[in-house]
Amino acid sequence: MHNHIISTNFAETKKKNNNNMKIKAIFVAALMAVAAINMTSCTEKKFRVEGTIKGANDSTLYLENMSLNGPVAVDSVKLSEDGKFSFAEKASEAPEFYRLRIAGQIINVAVDSTETIGITAEYPGMASNYVVTGSEECMKIKELATMQMGLQAKVNAIAQSAYLGIDAVADSIDRVVESYKNTVKYHYIFKEPMKAYSYFALFQTISLGNASSLIFNPRNSEEDVKVFAAVATSWDTYWPKAERGENLHNIAIEGMKNVRIIRSQRAQTIDPSKVSTTGIIDIQLADNKGTVRTLSQLKGKVVMLDFHLFANEASTKRIMMMRELYNKYHAQGLEIYQVSVDPDEHFWKTQTAALPWISVRADQEHQNVLADYNVQQIPTFFLISRDNAVYKRDAQVKDLEAEIRSLL
């Protein structure tokens, strides 16, 4: 009996000890997990963007990541009267790009090894009226953004000049853009191609009319391909596995292929007897069936050169007006050469499938036709005489039908 009690007590004690050991093990495991979390949070690299934006009380300030697929909202805050804000996010290994945005006002920032970036600005002019501290990269980006605004102002002034013809406008714009590119190439990109601000400079754009295009265009310029290649090579060296670097590398390779094609086409021998001069800037674009249609080949007809956006809510009414003109005067020699600037190719093909005239589309690669004809708004049209000379543009035409009849 005594032995039974001892054995029973021993079993109960052993059971209690086992339970205590299990509790201790769980407690130790929990401590280790907490420690691991603390170690991770301590070693995880973060960056901060903080500062003050005055004059934006009750406005929402967004921090957006400028991903390869476009801006992605990361965080936001509703500003109070003092305008103070602070964002903290995980930093990536390679440089990454963000922007602060209130409505259409934007401040671009780049994050590399910098832990804290300070921004002081005033709304609503914060895109140009701000001070950045703590980041040389962001200071350079501000310089580039300010320069780009100056370039855009020059281009707008040239395009709106009432004293310059189409050719003079195109030449003047080309000169100021080329000057800008040389400054950025030699003072920024080629100087430090591994820097985030050099990457930023590659993707600056310029607007003409309703269209925007890259200032450095690797699709059709051998010199611009070299600029992209310089930055791509640096990223391959410093951040070999970065997605942005791989994207740059692919852009440069594709650009080299396009340049070789252009160079090959230029090297082909041309029979001088087949060269003709015209009073228009020629356009060669593919129509909705894939056939390249050349504007100058319509010589002998009266042509309405029309720049159009089918996505515009007024498009249907305008197309009906053009169809009436076409049906009435086509047999007498009227032709319509319509250039769409719609970004969605499938939508454009659907909209033009039943149209009887020539419908072509200027995609991103061919936006230069807008600059060539000093197109400031969409829609815009030009009347071209039978001898291939620009007769009048829409602003000079009071009675379209009467002008067409006078040319037929």
The yes-or-no verdict on residue 273 having pLDDT over 70 is no
Give the model's confidence band at 258: pLDDT under 50 very low, under 70 low, under 90 confident, else very high.
confident
Q: What span, in angstroms and rounded, lies between the C-alpha atoms of 361 and 30?
A: 64
Give the model's confidence band at 366: pLDDT under 50 very low, under 70 low, under 90 confident, else very high.
confident
**Which has more confidence, 371 or 344?**
344
Give the model's confidence band at 10: pLDDT under 50 very low, under 70 low, under 90 confident, else very high.
very low
pTM for the predicted model, two decimal places: 0.58
Instruction: Look over the chain and give the mean of its residue pLDDT values, rounded to a whole number.
Output: 84
Query: What is the pLDDT at residue 35?
Result: 47
**Which has more confidence, 286 or 376?**
286
- Which tens digits make up the pLDDT trace of 114-127? 789 999 999 999 99
Within its chain, how far is the Cα of 270 from the centroid?
Answer: 37
Q: Which residues contact 244 (CB under 8 A, 6 or more apart)?
A: 68, 94, 95, 199, 235
**Which has more confidence, 4 or 373?**
373
Torsion angle, CA of 31/34/35/36, rounded to 10 degrees? 120
- Which tens digits make up the pLDDT trace of 136-175? 999 999 999 999 999 999 999 998 887 777 788 888 999 9
- Which tens digits make up the pLDDT trace of 205-246? 999 877 888 999 988 788 898 889 888 888 877 888 899 988
Query: What is the pLDDT at residue 267?
Result: 56
Write the DSSP string, 323-337.
Answer: HHHHHHHGGGTEEEE
221: tokens are: 């310029």
The yes-or-no verdict on residue 131 having pLDDT over 90 is yes
The yes-or-no verdict on residue 78 having pLDDT over 60 is yes
404: tokens are: 């067409």
